[in-house]
Chains A and B, each alone.
Chain A
Amino acid sequence: MNKVVHLHPMDDFKARSKAVLDNAGQRKNFRGAMDFLQAKRRAQFPDQDEMQGLRELGASIRRYSLAHLPRLLEQLEANLTANGVQVHWAQNGPEANAIALKIAQRVDAKRIIKGKSMVSEEVGFNHFMEAAGIEAFESDMGEYIVQLAGEAPSHIIMPAIHKTKQEIAQLFAEEIPGVAYTEDVDALIQIGRRVLRRKFAEADIGLSGVNFTVAETGTLCLVENEGNGRMCTTVPKVHIAITGIEKVVEKLEHVPPLLSLLTRSATGQAVTTYVNMISGPRRPDEKDGPQEVHLILLDNGRTQAYADDELRATLQCIRCGACMNHCPVYARIGGHAYGTTYPGPIGSIISPHMLGLDTTFPLAFASTLCGACSEVCPVKIPITDILVRLRNEAQARPETEEATLRGSGAARTLAASTAWGMWAQVYSKSGLYKLASWFMSRGRALSPSEQGAWTRSRTPLVPASKRLRDLMKDHKS
C-alpha cells in the first residue's frame, strides 16, 4: 500500500526505528513475543532430520509450482470456473480494488466483513472501500484491534503483537460502547466475539485471503484458529478471496507438506483449529455458504521478481512469519518501523517489487546478514543472499546491465561509491594495503576517539602497535 510518501526513505526508516528503540514498553512486547514464538516453533521440530527433509520437500513443491506458474494459473482458473468460482486478474492494487468495488456495487453491498488478508493490506483495500462509502470491517481479533486503534498490522501472523493487554483493555473501554475496562484476556476476547458476531450476520460480502490455491481441483485453502475466516467465507452471500499469483500449487497432495510447514513455523502448532478448503459457492441443494465466490489474482510486482533467476525464490514464501520471529532487527524495531505491509526479512525482499527499490532500499540494508531468517525459512528461501543481491541492485549504476529492478541504483551516491572504489584499490594491492596499515599502526596514537557511528555505542577501535605481519617477522626470526 502506497500510504507513505518517502522523500528520504533512509531517514524515514531510521526515524521510525528510533521511535521504537526508545520505547521500552514496545521493545519488551516484541521481545516477549519473539521468545514465545521461537520456543513454540522449536518445540514443533524436535527431529532435525525430519525438519530438514520436510523443508526440502516444501521448497521443491514451491519451486516446482513457480517453474510451471503460468500453466498452473490457467489450470486453476479453468477448474475454479468449472466449480462456479469467478476468477479475476489484477495487475496492481488499484485494479484489484476496482474489481472488488464493481462486485460490491453490483450486489449493492454496504458492509464487508474481512478475514485476515495481508494482500488486502497490500492493496489498501479498507481505505479504498471506505472512500467508496462501503464499510470494511476486520474480524481477526488482532486485525480488529489494530483497526480499532487506527493502525496497521505490525506482524503478518500476529497483527497486534506490539500491543499489551493493558493497551487493548484501554482501547476497548474507549472505543466500544458499553464496555468497561478489563485486562482479563478471556473477557476481552468475548467482547470482540460479541461485537463481531453481529458483523458477520450483517455483512453483505466476506473478504478473505488465501494460503494456498490448488490448480487440479480448483480449491482455495485457508488456515486459521479463530473461526472468523470461516465466518467470512460462509455467512455473507458473496465471498471475495484475494491472493498473489504465486500462491498456487498443482496437486492437492502438495498441500499437506506445506500446511505442516506453515503452521509449525508460524505459531508452533501442529495444525490450526481450522483448515478451510473451498471449492465452490453454495450449490442448489445446499442450505448455506455464499452464493457467489470470487478469486482476485494479484500481480503487483510479483512478475518482476519472477523474471529474475535469483529473486524468483522470493515468491516461494508461504507467509509464515518465522523469518521475522527470528530476526534480531525485527525483534528490536517491530513491524511498523519498516513502513511496508510486509515487515521483517520477507518484507525487505518482497517489498521492492511492490513499491520499487527507490523507496524500499533501506530495508535491504537493515539486516546483519546473520542468516537466522534463511535458517528457519520452511521453504528455504535464501533470504540473506537475496538481501545482498538487492543491496547490489540498490548500489548499481542506474541504466546499466546490473540495474534490473524498478528503482535500481537509488542508494548509490558519488561519495560512497568513490570511497568503496578507493577501499578496493587499497585492499586489492598488497603494497598499498601494507603502506596504509603501516601508517595506521604507526599513527595509532592519533586514532580518533570519535569514530562516527561506531563510538556512539562502543569504545574506539585502535590499531595495534604491530600488525600481525610485523609480529610474524619477529616470530620467524
Chain B
Amino acid sequence: MNSYGLTDRSYPSKPTDVYLFATCLIDQFTPQAGLDTVKLLEREGIRVHYPEQQTCCGQPAHSSGYPDEARSVALAQLNLFIEPWPVVVPSGSCGGMMRTHYPHLFADDPELHAKAMALADRIYELSEFLVHVVNFNHEDIGEACTIALHTSCHARRQMGVHETSAALLDSLDKVQVKEQARIEECCGFGGTFALLYPDISEAIATDKVASIKNTGASCVVSADCGCLLNISGRSAKQDELSGCKQPSLPGEHLASFLWRRTNGGAA
C-alpha cells in the first residue's frame, strides 16, 4: 500500500476498447502526445474512444483550495466513461487525481461516490497500461541516443507507477537512459505552486535541469506534460538568456518518444 492508500493492483488482459482521457494540457499544448498515445494503443489492436466532452480532471482547483470548483469540473468527467472499459491517461498527475482524489471529492454523495470509485478503479496511467496490460514490445528503429527520464511525483508516489516508464525505455535497444542525481526529487512545477512561488519553483527547476544535463542526456522524456513544460521551459529560458539558439534540453512526452522510436517516423 502506498501513502495514498493504493494497494498493488491486478491488471486485466488486453481489452478490445479503451477510453482516452487526454488531459487539458495535452489537448491545448502538446496534442501530438495525445495522438501518439492513440496510435500506440491502436497498433495493439485496441479501439480508442475519446469522449469529446472531456475537459480537465479538476486538479488545479483541487490543489488550490477550491474543492467545490474541483468537484464541479470532476463531475463533468465522471459521466463520460459509461462503458466498463479501461480509461488510459497519459499523465500520472491527472491519473492520480482521478484515481485517488475523486472518491474523496464525492465522499458525501453515495451515488456519485460509487461512480467515482468505479471510475478510479479503471484509471490507468499510460506507461502502466503499456507495460502491465498491453505488454509493449516493439523494435527500436531509431538512432542510438542518450536520454534522461523524469517521472512525475504523482506517477511515482500517488499512482505508484515509477517503474513502468523506465521499463518501456529499457525495452528500446538503442536508447541509453542516464540516471540523473536526485532522480526522485520533484521538478518544482506543482501546478499553481509555480505561479504562487515562482522563486522557489525556479530554484527547484533549475537544479532539475542541471542534474539532467549533467548526465549528458540529449533530451528529457516524461510521461507528464506539466513536468515537461516546466523542465524544458526552464532550460529554454536559460538557453534564451545565454544566447544559445538550439534547445539544450528539449523535452518529449513518453508517448511521442515511444511512437517515434518504434514506427520509423511514419505517420
Q: Are B199 and A18 in touch, CB under 8 angstroms? A: yes
Give the distance to chain A from B164, nearest Cβ to Cβ, in Å. Answer: 18
Is B262 at the interface (CB under 8 A from chain A)? no
B residues near A375, Cβ cutoff 8 Å = 2-3, 157
How many residues from A make CB contacts under 8 Å with B?
66
Q: Are A468 and B31 in touch, CB under 8 angstroms? A: yes
How many residues from B make CB contacts under 8 Å with A?
72
A residues near B26, Cβ cutoff 8 Å = 468
Is B168 at the interface (CB under 8 A from chain A)? no
Q: A376-410 toward B: CB 8 Å interface, digit per residue (1/0)?
A: 01001010000010011111100000000000000
Is B86 at the interface (CB under 8 A from chain A)? no
Q: Are B190 and A424 in touch, CB under 8 angstroms? A: no
Q: Are A458 and B197 in touch, CB under 8 angstroms? A: no
Known A17-B200, A18-B199, A366-B197: A328·B66 in contact at CB below 8 Å: no
Is A332 at the interface (CB under 8 A from chain B)? yes
Binds B, one of A78-86, A211-219, A283-291, A428-436: A428-436
Binding site for A on B (CB under 8 A): 1-4, 22, 24, 26-32, 34-35, 38, 50, 52-56, 58, 60-70, 72-73, 75-76, 153-154, 156-158, 182, 184-186, 188-191, 193-206, 229-230, 233-234, 236-237, 240
Docked CA distance A198–B231 (Å): 54
Q: Are A427 and B64 in touch, CB under 8 angstroms? A: no
Known A392-B67, A427-B24: A14·B76 in contact at CB below 8 Å: no
Q: Are B27 and A437 in touch, CB under 8 angstroms? A: yes
Q: Are B28 and A437 in touch, CB under 8 angstroms? A: yes
Q: A419-454 toward B: CB 8 Å interface, digit per residue (1/0)?
A: 011011011111001000100110000000000111
A residues near B56, Cβ cutoff 8 Å = 427, 433
Which 4 pairs, one residue from A and one from B, show the smallest C-beta to C-beta distance?
Answer: A368-B190, A458-B233, A395-B65, A391-B65
Docked CA distance A468–B22 (Å): 8
A residues near B62, Cβ cutoff 8 Å = 388
Is A333 at the interface (CB under 8 A from chain B)? yes
Q: Are A467 and B66 in touch, CB under 8 angstroms? A: no
Binding site for B on A (CB under 8 A): 14, 17-18, 21, 27, 35, 52, 328-329, 332-333, 365-372, 374-375, 377, 380, 382, 388, 391-396, 411, 417, 420-421, 423-424, 426-430, 433, 437, 440-441, 452-459, 461-464, 466-472, 475
Contact for B65 among A394, A429, A466, CB less than 8 A: A394
Contact for B32 among A374, A382, A428, A471, CB less than 8 A: A471
- 12 further A-B contacts with Cβ under 8 Å, apart from A21-B200, A441-B28, are A18-B199, A371-B3, A371-B153, A372-B185, A424-B61, A424-B68, A424-B72, A427-B24, A440-B28, A456-B202, A472-B34, A475-B35
A residues near B72, Cβ cutoff 8 Å = 424, 428
Q: Are B198 and A456 in touch, CB under 8 angstroms? A: yes
Contact for A472 among B24, B38, B201, B230, CB less than 8 A: B38
B residues near A456, Cβ cutoff 8 Å = 198, 202
Contact for A329 among B24, B200, B230, CB less than 8 A: B200
- Which residue on B lies nearest to A474, using beta carbons? B35
A residues near B24, Cβ cutoff 8 Å = 427, 437
24 A–B pairs (Cβ distance < 8 Å), ordered by A: A21-B200, A21-B203, A329-B197, A333-B200, A368-B186, A382-B3, A391-B65, A396-B65, A420-B69, A433-B56, A437-B27, A453-B194, A453-B195, A453-B201, A457-B233, A457-B237, A458-B230, A458-B233, A461-B29, A463-B28, A467-B27, A468-B50, A472-B35, A472-B50
Interface of A is mostly: helix
Docked CA distance A85–B39 (Å): 73
A residues near B153, Cβ cutoff 8 Å = 368-372
Give the distance to chain B from A284, nearest Cβ to Cβ, in Å. Answer: 51
Docked CA distance A21–B230 (Å): 19
- Which residue on A lies nearest to B204, using beta carbons? A328
Give the distance to chain A from B21, nearest Cβ to Cβ, in Å. Answer: 11
Q: Are A459 and B237 in touch, CB under 8 angstroms? A: yes
Q: Are A14 and B3 in touch, CB under 8 angstroms? A: no
Docked CA distance A455–B194 (Å): 10
Q: Are B157 and A420 in touch, CB under 8 angstroms? A: no
- Which residue on A lies nearest to B93, using beta carbons? A369
A residues near B68, Cβ cutoff 8 Å = 424
B residues near A463, Cβ cutoff 8 Å = 28-29
- Which residue on A lies nearest to B26, using beta carbons? A468
B residues near A14, Cβ cutoff 8 Å = 197, 199
